[in-house]
Chain A
Amino acid sequence: KQEVTQIPAALSVPEGENLVLNCSFTDSAIYNLQWFRQDPGKGLTSLLLIQSSQREQTSGRLNASLDKSSGRSTLYIAASQPGDSATYLCAVRPRLESGGSYIPTFGRGTSLIVHP
């Protein structure tokens, strides 16, 4: 059974710092990995999607990397801003040869506070 762990669970930093959020997964047979942002009381907003064949994806100040063999992904946030304050979740989709489950597995998220 796939398990997804996100470390740290919570993070508080001053504005302007560069951040690294970690996501690890136990089964490396994945199809893709997706990073989301969730604001309090809201749904999830997709940030970056990395296919299993890719090493990284970038969008603005965000960069996500994937190392499938070690079961890790990192989300790098450059020059953090107070507006980046939210919970960041990663989700892993399994790769299946045939049949089986198609259920994506989410981590519990990292709660980020960026203070001015």
Chain B
Amino acid sequence: DTGVSQDPRHKITKRGQNVTFRCDPISEHNRLYWYRQTLGQGPEFLTYFQNEAQLEKSRLLSDRFSAERPKGSFSTLEIQRTEQGDSAMYLCASTLGTGGRYSNQPQHFGDGTRLSIL
């Protein structure tokens, strides 16, 4: 068990550029989540996958954001035309869903990708 890994750890880019983050969940975990966290706040849910299916998206996820999990393993989160307000820590978490819409297994988080928009 190597844990959840995220790449890159830090990303600095100019406003208007596109960025893509990658998350590799724990290998046997079928559920994957993306969150955004700003300083002094708790994580805010962005989207959730079960295997390759994107099952829920937050209203926070504007049309500039897109997430994929094409083979049910790693996931990517892309932000197009970045804005100052996109500066945040982007966290990925995974868990083993044991059935239905609910999981009574704990979420395991990666160390996040910190995005800074100049």
Contact = CB atoms under 8 A, between A and B. Distances in A.
Interface of A: 4, 31-32, 34, 36, 41-46, 49, 51, 89, 91, 93, 95-96, 101-104, 106-109
A102 B104 contact: no
A43 B110 CA distance: 5
B114 interface: yes
14 contacts: A4-B42, A31-B102, A41-B114, A42-B112, A43-B111, A43-B112, A44-B91, A46-B106, A46-B108, A91-B43, A101-B56, A103-B58, A104-B45, A108-B40
Dominant SS at the B interface? loop
Contacts of A32: 104
A98 to B, nearest CB: 9
Interface in B68-112: 91, 93, 101-102, 104-112
A108 B109 contact: no
Given A44-B43, A44-B93, A102-B56, 12 more contacts: A36-B109, A42-B111, A43-B91, A43-B93, A44-B91, A49-B105, A89-B42, A93-B102, A95-B102, A102-B48, A102-B101, A106-B43
Contact of B42 (A51, A102, A109): A109
Contacts of A49: 104-106
A57 B29 CA distance: 23
A102 B42 CA distance: 17
Nearest to B101: A102
A51 B40 CA distance: 27
B42 A46 contact: no
A52 B66 CA distance: 33
A51 B103 CA distance: 10
Interface string B12-50: 000000000000000000000000000011111100100
Interface string B48-59: 100000011010
Contacts of A89: 42-43
